[in-house]
Amino acid sequence: MMGLRPSPFMATQTMSWAEEIILGDPLDPTNIFRWDEVVLNLPGMLDYDPTRPWVAKYRSSDGKIACDMLIYIDDLRLTGPTAEECWAASRRAASVCNWLGIQDAPRKRREPSQTPGAWAGSVLSTDLGEVVVKASEEKWLKAKNHIAWLNEVLLSGADFEHERLESARGFLVYMCRAYPAMTPYLKGIHQTLDSWRPDRGQDGWRLSGSERAVLAAAGMLPVVGPRDKPPSMVRSAPRLRDDVDALLQMVKPEVPPRRMVRALTRGVVRYGFGDASGKGFGSTIMLNGVLHYRSGQWSEQIENESSNYRELRNLIEALEEAAIGGDLQGCEIFMFTDNDVAEKAFFNGTSSSRSLFELVLRLRMLELHGGWKLHVVHVAGTRMIEEGADGMSRGVFDAGVMLGHSMMDYVPLHLNALERSPELKTWLLSWLGQEVEFLEPRGWFCEGFKEGAFVWSPPPAAAGAAVEQMARAKHRRPHCLHIAVIPRLMTVHWQKQLLKACDLVIRIPAKVPFWSSKQHEPVLIALALPLCKHRPWRLRSTKLMGDAERSLRSMWHQGAEGSGRFLRQLLARTRSLDTLPYGMVREVLSADFERSLPSAAAQRQAGKRDRHGPGGAAISASKKRRSSDDFVPV
């Protein structure tokens, strides 16, 4: 089947089936991949330990992390607590692959090691008492050569060859997988490659909407189509000189530096809130059992900046002040803000806004030189009010932690949606039916891959691992139904993959009976529907899903009555599509969702049209020419 349109789907799906056979029964005591519990170690828990993984499979017999297998395209990597167990896991994987007819190359096998070499873009090692990542020496030398070439062109004052600069950027972006701190310093390269576009200013930054409108009115803004080719040579952006100087300092070592991912000495966790509302700002950080707070008014210059700028600057100044005494050294810090732009900008390491980009760079350098690890988490504004940070920005000191309440009461990163609101489970059962199975953490790696309908309700901090397993389960058995229920917290770690894996995502605000206002953040209900047996295969992006999403959005403003009945009808409609002829499916998906299912007579008529060609003569199934689209990925 190689070369046909669904061949990548089939290849990766059958490899997933092979993985299931290799891993075997986790409760079998003779299985090298055995495990019997999934341990969650999440921020927000009183016993949270930053030196341990957030989600891990453990063996209760000896308390060790179980052996596991990772797959990257067609390459396998085995992990285990000892070298002997790694050998046994490798033998099991190789022998089962050979038994299944999958080629194994023994010459490529490596001995078990805590420094196994490069894989998937990085070199991971767990020796010397810590977990670190670095680039290979070959990649490090190549990065140094690319940056040296950038410096030579800048010193000569010549323009850059667009094609070669684009190649250099691609490799440096690849290097950011091992060294994320390099991300902000690629901005000058991005601006140089796009310097020929008409919506860029003399400083290399994208023009604002008002600036483009002025140029367009004066007829000075030429139109450039998305397919227009760039010139062969491009001029350097003004900030490229500073970025290259920073990159030269980063790649100055002769050997690739080791970036710490997780230390093996017990760490300390800090939590804090920061808010900048209007003209004021406020923040609270708990350090060594003592609440440190700051409050004040912005200067006139900063007051005129955007709210995104003020929110992010408030976080930076709060951390700078807290770091003066050295209390943040070696800590893992969670800072909460009601500005989602600040969360995304810090997570991505860059921003299209010049002022925000400078703040992100300042915050990254503060984290790098401070010797601590930072997480910026977006929460609802009502939570900021209840915690007290919002009031402090207005000079009010009589709410939340300022009254002596514990800051841990406002950090629900370790609680799932069903734990926070038991009424939500009742509402889910009202339209899903009793046959659905609610998965515990152990089910993310076991029961969720079997036949049936499943509800995944992970805590926000563990949602990244759960969503990844849900996507793999859907790929392995695409005819099963999966529903994810996750509060809108730490979305930068899991929302992107969730949107790709699911066909419909429902955002329920915190104002309905089963998800009240005391929950603050909305809850996301994502449906990964079974694949169809014919085009369009997936229902995502069809008019049926679009109509359903718009109808549900209006229901939450009207009290959510009838939402369960509406969703039950939607599931019934999607399940009935496989029983319809192909011609009828196209009509159903393009029609309004409120329309009833076609009558039996209409279905029979559509079946006749689907069996006949344009001239009305029946086409024999044995003589009909098959195309690659006719092979169904189910």
Does residue 68 surpass a pLDDT of 90?
A: yes
3-state helix, strand, coil in the chain (%, to 5): 45, 15, 40
Tens of pLDDT, residues 517-528: 999 999 999 999
Instruction: Show me where the domains of the chain are located.
Output: 19-112, 137-206+232-261, 268-410, 417-453+470-611
Per the model's pLDDT, the better-predicted residue between 390 and 417 turns out to be 417
Residue 600 is predicted with a pLDDT of 40
Residue 611 is predicted with a pLDDT of 38
Residue 1 is predicted with a pLDDT of 58
Strand partners for 486: 524
- What's the DSSP call for residue 614? T
- H or E element: which one contains 56? strand 55-59
Give the ranges where 235-278 is alpha helix by DSSP (H): 240-250
- H or E element: which one contains 344? helix 340-348
Residue 72 is predicted with a pLDDT of 79
Would you call 504 helix, strand, or coil by DSSP?
A: strand
Per the model's pLDDT, the better-predicted residue between 195 and 2 turns out to be 195
Q: 268-410 is classed in which CATH architecture?
A: 2-Layer Sandwich (3.30)
Does residue 222 surpass a pLDDT of 70?
A: no
Strand partners for 260: 132
pTM of the model: 0.82
Tens of pLDDT, residues 234-253: 999 998 998 998 899 888 88
Does residue 573 surpass a pLDDT of 90?
A: no
Does residue 609 surpass a pLDDT of 50?
A: no
Q: Give the pLDDT band (50/70/90) at residue 614.
A: very low
Mean pLDDT of the chain: 83
CA distances for 246 relative to 188, 365, 387, angstroms: 11, 11, 39
Tens of pLDDT, residues 336-383: 998 899 899 888 888 878 888 888 888 887 877 777 888 999 999 899
**Residues composing the chain:** 634
Would you call 290 helix, strand, or coil by DSSP?
A: strand
Residue 590 is predicted with a pLDDT of 63
Would you call 189 helix, strand, or coil by DSSP?
A: helix
Residue 584 is predicted with a pLDDT of 61
| Pairwise CA distance, residues 610 & 585, whole Å | 11
Does residue 192 surpass a pLDDT of 70?
A: yes
Q: Which residue has the tokens 């949602």?
A: 463
- H or E element: which one contains 68? strand 68-72
Farthest-apart Cα atoms in the chain, separation: 86
Portion of the chain with pLDDT greater than 90, in percent? 37
Does residue 563 surpass a pLDDT of 90?
A: no
Residue 117 is predicted with a pLDDT of 77
Would you call 510 helix, strand, or coil by DSSP?
A: coil
